[in-house]
């Protein structure tokens, strides 16, 4: 889990993160996402949608062992984050 935390922190520093389920799905569809991260408490219907699009686009999707509030804190955001995409460089 430390590796994905580091990857999120690096992407955050480089401005390569997209927050929120709708924008994450949009980035997958447009081919901009390199990797997707979802919180362990991401709502099931959102999780299923994201997993579906990741599978179609052959993009890795990781369920991190953090809840959405903790994921928001990791991303230095004052709100919960259920899903995020790490964008391609």
Ordered alpha helix ranges (H), 1-89: 2-14, 21-29, 44-57, 68-74
Compute and round to an integer the Cα radius of gyration of the chain. 12
- Please name the residues in contact with 18: beta carbons below 8 A apart, sequence gap of 6 or more: 24, 26, 27, 32, 33, 84, 85, 87
What does the pLDDT look like over 42-83, one tens digit per residue? 999 999 999 999 999 999 999 999 999 999 999 999 999 999
- In the block, tokens 């928001």 appear at 72
**pTM, full prediction:** 0.93
Domains of the chain: 2-87 (3.30.1330.30)
Res. 1: pLDDT tops 90: no
Q: What is the mean pLDDT of residues 31-44?
A: 97
């Amino acid at each position: 889990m430390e590796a994905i935390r580091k990857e999120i922190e690096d992407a955050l520093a480089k401005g390569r993160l997209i927050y929120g389920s709708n924008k994450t799905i949009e980035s997958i569809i447009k081919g901009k996402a390199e990797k997707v991260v979802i919180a362990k408490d991401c709502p099931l219907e959102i999780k299923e949608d994201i997993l579906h699009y990741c599978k179609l686009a052959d993009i890795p999707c990781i369920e991190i062992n953090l809840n959405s509030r903790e994921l928001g804190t990791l991303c230095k955001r004052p709100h919960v984050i259920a899903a995020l995409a790490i964008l391609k460089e």
